[in-house]
Amino acid sequence: MKKETKRMSSDCAGLMSDCASGFPFEALFATTPNVCLFVKNRDGRFVWGNAFLVELCGATSLDEIVGKTDFDFFPRDLALDYRREDETVVATGAPIVDRPWLVCNANKTIDWFLSNKWPLRGRAKRGKSNEAAPILGVVGAMRNYRRFDKEASEQNSDFRDVVDFMLENYERKIETRELAELAFLSTSQFERRFRAIFRMTPSRFLTEIRLRASARLLTSTDWTLAQIASRTGFFDQSHFGKAFRAEYGTTPKRYRAAYGTSTLTNDGGAKE
């Protein structure tokens, strides 16, 4: 085990040294300690992480994490989502910014984080742009709104009350007007600022939250699909099914069958 850890640590050093010098590591690693920072290789194995990651994984040191994957620390349904997201970043080279995610804490409670991931590129060939450099892995930063220091980002902290409201009330209908009032802005001003900060509309952000919550309920409860649709703010079961399939590429029923820990005895007449 020690030999494996040493090898992975060596891989980490090699990966870091191969990275393009233009990547803003110093700026990233100097952020608030309330941000979880990590580096993974193309296979999804951790090669580096900060103290917050160690805490989140329930480990006592980074050595216990290096060389392992999300599947070693988090529920399978969540780990699958993390891995799918990593693969998308590696395949497209496009970063993911401020995406709402469910994350399992070390004490097995579930909390909400905003996830950011960037492609980790190697050195570009002489005369080539950095965008042409090979992607070696993923660099990520996640922040928990409950622990986030408002002073770390004035722009985002302005909207903390808005996001908290969405996280606590996503099961019911939420009007954009309500959110704008929380931010003391007109509806049009609010929508423009929200898009500038989160790179998506308020309605899409809310849908992302509802989809993560519904996926979690599918795999951890025996509630019917109609009940889950109602508890996560979708209009009805049909609306829930369409939104879920668009995001996950499968139906809620099949997702539950593949990743659920509960046996559904009554699916409420769910249709594929």
CATH of the domain at 15: 3.30.450.20
Q: Is residue 267 part of a domain?
A: no
Shared-domain flag, residues 253 and 190 = yes
Shared-domain flag, residues 231 and 170 = yes
Shared-domain flag, residues 135 and 163 = no
Residue 1 scores a pLDDT above 80? no
Shared-domain flag, residues 12 and 126 = yes
Shared-domain flag, residues 30 and 127 = yes
**Which pLDDT score, from 0 to 100, does residue 156 have?**
53
Give the H/E segment covering residue 146. Answer: none
Domains: count for the chain:
2
Closest C-alpha to 47, from 15, 79, 93: 15
Q: Is residue 90 part of a domain?
A: yes
Shared-domain flag, residues 132 and 40 = yes
Q: Is residue 105 part of a domain?
A: yes
Choose the final residue of a domain: 144, 168, 185.
Answer: 144
The terminus-to-terminus CA distance of the chain in angstroms comes to 45
Shared-domain flag, residues 206 and 118 = no
Asked whether the beta carbons of 66 and 5 are under 8 A apart, the reply is yes
Shared-domain flag, residues 11 and 101 = yes
* Alpha-carbon gap, residue 5 to 9, rounded angstroms: 6
- Encode pLDDT of 186-233 as tens digits: 999 999 988 887 778 999 989 988 998 898 899 888 999 999 999 999
* Alpha-carbon gap, residue 161 to 194, rounded angstroms: 13
Choose the final residue of a domain: 114, 144, 174.
Answer: 144
Whole-prediction pTM: 0.65
Q: Is residue 149 part of a domain?
A: no
- Encode pLDDT of 105-144 as tens digits: 777 677 778 889 999 988 766 656 666 688 999 999 988 7
- Encode pLDDT of 167-187 as tens digits: 889 999 999 999 999 989 999
